[in-house]
Amino acid sequence: MPVSVDELTADEPFPVKPESNQCKALTFLVTHHEYGFTPREIAGQTALDQTTAVDALARLFENELINRADEVYYIEPRRVDELKHRLESLDSAVRLFEATPNDDSYAEEGWEQEVLSIDPDN
């Protein structure tokens, strides 16, 4: 799918952080993009309480990631694929960092002595 050059050159990062309340609400709406939901319905289907859902949805709406009509929040159909890919990227980044060792478990003492020099005289 072609991507607008303006979108590619935008300096603004995706405003949703992994595992945040906004991410949970957005993931729910993307997953169920065929319907619109009230904050109460989203809270009932996610791990968010109603107040948290209202706050998360308000931020998503302010960031123009979701739409609202009469207190029903939904994803505009043309944005579903884009948002789905963005959420998948966030999830991939989280899994990558979770799988990365937080110590230098691969290094063995004295490893630098075994590395050949790029200097032809050594």
- Higher per-residue pLDDT: 47 or 97: 47
> pLDDT tens-digit profile of 33-57?
999 999 999 999 998 999 999 999 9
Count Cβ neighbours within 10 Å for each residue of 15-46 and write b for 16 or more, e otherwise.
Answer: ebeeeebbbbbbbbbbeebeebbbbebbbeeb
pLDDT for res 71: 93
Q: Which helix (H) or strand (E) holds 92?
A: helix 80-99
Identify the architecture of domain 18-97 in CATH: Orthogonal Bundle (1.10)
Q: Among 27-31, 67-71, 90-94, where is mean pLDDT lowest?
A: 90-94
> pLDDT tens-digit profile of 67-82?
999 999 999 999 999 9
